[in-house]
Amino acid sequence: MTRIAFLYLSSFGTSLLGNSVTAIALPLLVLFTTGSPLGAGVVAAAAAVPAAVAGLLMGSLIDRINRRTAAVLSDVISAVALLVLPIVDLTVGLNLGWFVAVAVLNSFGDVPGITAREAMLPAIAEAAGLAPARLIGLRESLAGVALLLGPAVAGVLVAALTPVTVLWITAGTAALAALLTLAIPARAAAHRREGGDEPEAARVGAVFDGLVILFRSPLLRGMVLLGVTLAVVLAATQGMVIPVHFAFHDEPQYVGFVLSALAAGLLVGGGLFATLGHRVPRRTWFTTGLAVLAVGFAVVGVLGPVWSIFAGAAIVGLGGGCMNAVVGLTFVENVDESRRGKVLGAQNAIMTLVPAAGVGGAAVLVEAGGLHLVTTCLAALWLAAATAALLSPNIRRLGREPA
């Protein structure tokens, strides 16, 4: 692996690991400070909408400057936002208002940072002499590793330190990600429009160009709708079905292991694509991912013995790793270089809002008919989406000509 690819993957993994730890430490800090579970929900809701707006706004900027610069700026914003809370705790004291303000500020670092790193991948792959499919597969595997280690690292840190102290460490990981990204040569993340004028950027409504491009392309539109469905089903399963199931059985300690099993599956799926992605037709990877996800959701949905839920989560991760790699490569191949930031920013903005809908919808169904009604509806939703994708003529174009 070349130095450029190593730095790119290291910065991506460091940023994702920090986000994974923060996702556990921050709600605990809100809970310990306010004493109210509702407070943690308010903070999460306050961050969701600004994060989506940031994804749309920053997409245009990412297409106008070097994407390495955009990623570094995003990591710096995240580091500063996370540092605010421990500093305020040492001085004037924390309250819910500070948490909301920091959540809004941090949202302008997370989503744009993800978008910038995704948008620079083709240029990084070219500079590193790697096939984009291989680099995307490695990135998906690294995401699995980060999700696997994140909860464990967070658990150890929270047990050894206070949640507010953990934020000093997560701010440091954001700063480290910025430094690793800065070490990537600027030429490796450059794009054709860098330093040039883009008249459409000044046009009223240009911020929505990414959404327009997404929904005008049948192939990209189908990928986004499928991704939204997967995000809804995953969020409902992870955020409501699994915690409620184990809480009812007085076994809350197993919730974290389900997430670890899912991450392990992502690791294997991404690794397989990185190794064999160029040898197996793209459509085969995609259809296999859809089918494996359906099997995994069905196994989890039965809510049988603990081992079966772990196995189902691992199967879901395996299918998701394969499918996500294909989706990522589809965006690389079918979105013009000069507009990739806008399009990926719009996609990430949509995906930021979706999990709340999944958890909220699952909560309503749990109240209405119990967990098995929820799992049945989720399995049916995914089967419907997967069937529609398989019947779509656009799927036959995967890996062929651009849309």
CATH code, domain with 401:
1.20.1250.20
360 confidence band (pLDDT: 50, 70, 90):
confident
Q: Give ∠ CA 395-396-397 in degrees, rounded to 5.
A: 90
pLDDT recorded at residue 140: 81
Q: Are residues 351 and 210 in the same domain?
A: yes
Q: Are residues 192 and 53 in the same domain?
A: yes
**Sign of the Cα pseudo-torsion (194, 115, 127, 339, in order):** negative
138 domain residue, yes or no = no
Q: What torsion do the CA atoms of 18, 19, 21, 23 make, to the nearest 10 degrees?
A: 160
Residues in the chain: 403
pLDDT recorded at residue 87: 93
CB atoms within 10 A of CB 179: 13
The chain-wide mean pLDDT, for the chain, equals 81
Q: Are residues 160 and 240 in the same domain?
A: no
pLDDT recorded at residue 195: 43
pLDDT tens digit sequence for 147-165: 777 777 876 787 788 778 8
pLDDT recorded at residue 32: 78
Q: Are residues 123 and 232 in the same domain?
A: no
Q: Among 230-234, 314-318, 389-393, name the one with the lowest average pLDDT.
A: 389-393
137 domain residue, yes or no = no
Range picked from 126-135, 154-163, 248-257, 275-284 for highest mean pLDDT: 126-135
Q: Are residues 43 and 90 in the same domain?
A: yes
How many structural domains does the chain have?
2
Q: Can you read off the two tokens belonging to residue 235?
A: 């969020």
pLDDT tens digit sequence for 32-44: 787 766 666 677 6
140 domain residue, yes or no = no
17 confidence band (pLDDT: 50, 70, 90):
confident
Q: Are residues 285 and 368 in the same domain?
A: yes
Q: Quick one: 236 exposed, middle or buried, by C-beta within 10 A (0-12, 13-18, 19+)? A: buried
pLDDT tens digit sequence for 309-329: 999 999 998 998 888 888 888
Q: Are residues 218 and 324 in the same domain?
A: yes
C-alpha distances out from residue 159 to 150, 154, 156, 163, 174, Å: 14, 8, 5, 9, 22
318 domain residue, yes or no = yes
Q: At residue 176, does pLDDT exceed 90?
A: yes
Q: At residue 24, does pLDDT exceed 80?
A: no
pLDDT recorded at residue 38: 63
Q: What percent of the chain has pLDDT over 70?
A: 91
Q: What is the rounded average pLDDT of the residues 280-295?
A: 88
pLDDT recorded at residue 178: 93
For 355, the domain range is 203-403
Q: Give ∠ CA 96-100-247 in degrees, rounded to 5.
A: 75
Q: Are residues 126 and 252 in the same domain?
A: no
Task: Quote the distance between the C-alpha of residue 34 and its chain's center.
Answer: 28
pLDDT recorded at residue 299: 92
C-alpha distances out from residue 26 to 96, 123, 240, 330, Å: 12, 34, 19, 34
Q: At residue 253, does pLDDT exceed 90?
A: no
Q: Are residues 274 and 319 in the same domain?
A: yes
pLDDT recorded at residue 354: 81
274 confidence band (pLDDT: 50, 70, 90):
confident
pLDDT recorded at residue 398: 66
SS3 call for 324 = helix
Q: Are residues 186 and 208 in the same domain?
A: no
Q: Are residues 79 and 32 in the same domain?
A: yes
pLDDT recorded at residue 194: 43
CB atoms within 10 A of CB 397: 18
pLDDT recorded at residue 199: 45
Say which residues have a Cβ less than 8 Å from residue 38's Cβ, sequence separation at least 6.
none
Q: Among 203-217, 229-243, 370-384, name the one with the lowest average pLDDT.
A: 203-217
310 domain residue, yes or no = yes
Q: What percent of the chain has pLDDT over 90?
A: 14
Say which residues have a Cβ less than 8 Å from residue 60's Cβ, sequence separation at least 6.
201, 206, 207, 209, 341, 342, 345
pLDDT tens digit sequence for 43-97: 767 777 777 777 777 777 787 778 888 889 999 999 999 999 999 988 888 888 8
DSSP character string of 188-230: GG--TTTTS--GGGGSTTGGGHHHHHHHHSHHHHHHHHHHHHH
pLDDT recorded at residue 397: 65
Q: Quick one: 317 exposed, middle or buried, by C-beta within 10 A (0-12, 13-18, 19+)? A: buried
Nearest to 348 by CA among 113, 124, 178: 113
Q: Among 147-156, 190-199, 304-313, name the one with the lowest average pLDDT.
A: 190-199
Q: Are residues 175 and 221 in the same domain?
A: no
